[in-house]
Amino acid sequence: MTAGTKLWGGRFATAPDSRMRVLNDSFPYDRRLAFVDVRGSIAYAGSLFDIGLLTSSEHAEIVAGLEKVAEEFASATFEPALEDEDIHTAVERRLTELIGAPAGKLHTGRSRNDQVATDLRLYVLEAIDALSDQLRGLQSAVVTKAEGHPNVVMPGYTHMQQAQPILFSHWLMSFFWKFERDHGRLQDARKRTAISPLGSGALSGTPFPIDREALAKALEFDDTSENSLDAVEDRDFVVEFLAAASLLQVHLSALAETLILWVSAAYSFVRLDEAHCTGSSLMPQKRNPDALELVRGKTGRVFGHLTGILTTLKGLPSGYNKDLQEDKEGLFDVVDTLSIELPIVADLVRKLKVNAANMAAARDSAMLATDLADYLVKKGIPFREAHRLVGSIIRAGETAGCPIDVLPIETYQRIHSAFDADVYSVFDSHQAVGRRATKGGTAPEAVDRQIRNAKSLLGSQASECCLQEDG
């Protein structure tokens, strides 16, 4: 008889078959919950002791035993038994081996239903905290890089077409704010994760006078759940984390796509450090931006795991259903994915070489067409009319086969008499950039303000990160 069946098998005549074990057993992946499971059990043992269900010495034995189990996991000396169907079974089996009878009291009033919900929340809380720190590191890299390249004018794009000149630092800071929203979403998800389900039993609550609030505090939860049935079946926090991760991944994919474009020969706006490239087994010249391509590609797995958990949850009736065991692998994979991506992307941003000369050379004077229309607006022409007139100038340039900033003044004046000789001053990209000085604009002073705001959000974190990682 296995440990699994030891736990639940009193009423069973036979053991599950081996294929069934492969389907059923979660230990191969939920062993990752070992430390939070032990933490939860130590806290729970404290509650049992408080209400007199454990003697002082039983309590001490259990705590010492659990600490020993955790050490075995930490030192990779834990030996799984064939019958460890999940991490809870494995820990209880090993505890029983270590301390004997008292281990059998630890499950009093507790079900694996509230136990696993507790473990998984503790895991997600740790993951959110670690990822939030890594995200702060990336934001810090963005700010530092932006600050280090204050006056580099480059083409701004819409529709992947040159649109208006902007500062490179403005472009880069656009990602700071995306990541700031991601940080906010992770923190909002954290609020709803930090609710302790422990003491909910299998579905209906515990008949023992457990102090759920004290238990929650011991485990650093913010609060306790309001309804035991909801507590054991709620996986909203997993979905919410994956949804926040999906948006973070959207932003990473946008950064990756843009940089993949810009490292290509056609742009050559930036150059990656070799550390973030790989070569080709066939083509000796290749220097591929693999890190960025993988970050872009991994968007698939993150969206996929979000779809996965939503699908699993769809249409489940009230009460814990075994389907919920499918809540873990996708979650773990997303945590691992972001944990490896975030520091690499931060490092990549830090080590990015910016080629200001190529950015300058790429600029087409037609990017100033809006400013040309604004020039007419200032002379009293309604914008819609000014827009139409500049359109004619663009066509004149195409017909003449030359950039619009070298069309003769006669061409301008033939299109509208409001054009004066001063029209050519419009084509100074730095001035055009400088004109966008309202909040959020691309003018140097407006970007400076962004950077100041960003640094104040990062607080002391930022400077530390920079000293440490960007030095």
Nearer to a second copy, 71 or 300 (CB): 300
Nearer to a second copy, 71 or 307 (CB): 307
Give 461's Cβ-side CA count (13 Å radius).
Answer: 17
Total Cβ atoms within 10 A of residue 400: 13
- DSSP per residue over 104-148, as a string? GGTTTT--HHHHHHHHHHHHHHHHHHHHHHHHHHHHHHHHHHHHH
Does 277 help bind a second copy (rule: CB under 8 A)? yes
3-state secondary structure of 422: helix
> Which of positions 336-355 make contact with a second copy (CB under 8 A)?
340-341, 343-344, 347
Minimum distance from CB of 326 to a second copy (Å)?
A: 4
> Which of positions 116-155 make contact with a second copy (CB under 8 A)?
none
Minimum distance from CB of 338 to a second copy (Å)?
A: 11
Minimum distance from CB of 78 to a second copy (Å)?
A: 20
Residues 226-254 as b or e (16 or more Cβ within 10 Å = b): eebbebbbbbebbbbbbbbbbebbebbbe
The whole-angstrom separation of Cα 437 and Cα 375 is 17
Residue 389 tokens, joined: 């007139």
Q: Are 416 and 372 in contact (CB under 8 A)?
A: no
Burial of 416 (0-12, 13-18, 19+ CB in 10 A): middle
3-state secondary structure of 224: strand
Instruction: Using CB under 8 A, count the residues that bind a second copy.
Output: 202
> Which of positions 246-275 make contact with a second copy (CB under 8 A)?
246-247, 250, 253-254, 256-258, 260-261, 263-267, 274-275
Catalytic residue list contains 280: yes
Does 421 help bind a second copy (rule: CB under 8 A)? no
Minimum distance from CB of 331 to a second copy (Å)?
A: 12
Does 468 help bind a second copy (rule: CB under 8 A)? no
Which part of the chain contacts a second copy (CB under 8 A), choosing from 36-44, 73-81, 381-389, 458-466?
381-389
> Which of positions 55-94 make contact with a second copy (CB under 8 A)?
88-89, 92
Which part of the chain contacts a second copy (CB under 8 A), choosing from 28-36, 67-75, 127-135, 297-305?
297-305
Does 23 help bind a second copy (rule: CB under 8 A)? yes
The whole-angstrom separation of Cα 389 and Cα 353 is 40
Taking CB under 8 A as the criterion, the residue among 55, 151, 204, 463 binding a second copy is 204
- DSSP per residue over 225-257, as a string? -S-HHHHHH--HHHHHHHHHHHHHHHHHHHHHH
Minimum distance from CB of 311 to a second copy (Å)?
A: 4
Q: Tokens 């090993």 sit at which residue?
A: 94
> Which of positions 305-334 make contact with a second copy (CB under 8 A)?
305-326, 329-330
Considering the candidates 159, 281, 456, 460, report the single residue annotated as catalytic: 159
Amino acid, res. 261: L
The whole-angstrom separation of Cα 195 and Cα 229 is 14
Does 219 help bind a second copy (rule: CB under 8 A)? no
> Which of positions 391-420 make contact with a second copy (CB under 8 A)?
391-395, 398, 404
Minimum distance from CB of 147 to a second copy (Å)?
A: 15
Minimum distance from CB of 408 to a second copy (Å)?
A: 19
Does 360 help bind a second copy (rule: CB under 8 A)? no
Q: How many residues does the chain have?
A: 471
The whole-angstrom separation of Cα 425 and Cα 365 is 12
Does 390 help bind a second copy (rule: CB under 8 A)? yes
Does 276 help bind a second copy (rule: CB under 8 A)? yes
What Cα–Cα distance (Å) separates residue 378 from each residue in 19, 368, 371, 381, 386?
Answer: 78, 15, 10, 7, 10
Nearer to a second copy, 71 or 213 (CB): 213
Catalytic residue list contains 159: yes
Considering the candidates 204, 280, 425, 463, report the single residue annotated as catalytic: 280
Minimum distance from CB of 126 to a second copy (Å)?
A: 20
Nearer to a second copy, 76 or 101 (CB): 101
Nearer to a second copy, 71 or 275 (CB): 275
Which residues participate in catalysis according to the annotation? 159, 280
